[in-house]
Amino acid sequence: MDQAVPAPLAAHTDAPALPALTPIPLRELLPWLLFGSILLLMVVYVVGVEQGAFSLISNSYVHEFVHDGRHLLGFPCH
């Protein structure tokens, strides 16, 4: 029971070639990194610190809204 193994299909050469990847210059990347870092710091502040005597937003709406996230990230709040 000798069966012949079929030959692999020939590769199609009709597909277009992929364009060459060029690195993003640091001068173009730096503003986005700065923006992302500032945004991240603002989110960490709102989730972790926005409560009590130093709160920028009155009442406890922000505290209650991010309460579970605060515990998940390890910030004490009680």
Domain count, the chain: 1
pTM score of the predicted model: 0.55
Q: Is 66 exposed, middle or buried (0-12, 13-18, 19+ CB in 10 A)?
A: buried
pLDDT at 55: 67
**Residue 52 maps to a domain:** yes
Is 16 part of a structural domain of the chain?
no
> Is the residue at 50 inside a domain?
yes
Write out pLDDT tens, residues 19-78: 889 998 999 999 999 999 999 998 888 777 766 666 676 777 777 777 787 888 887 766
Instruction: Give the other-Cβ count within 10 Å of 21's Cβ.
Output: 6
Contact call for residues 47 and 72 (beta carbons, < 8 A): no
Q: Which residues are within 8 A (CB) of 56 and not within 5 positions of it... i.e. 6 or more apart?
A: 50
Whether 71 is in a domain gets the answer yes
Q: Tell me whether residue 65 is in a domain.
A: yes
For the stretch 32-48, pLDDT in tens is: 999 999 999 988 887 77
Kindly state whether residue 11 falls inside one of the protein's structural domains: no
In a domain, 66, yes or no: yes
In a domain? residue 64: yes
Token code pair at residue 21: 């990847």
Full domain range(s) for residue 74:
45-78
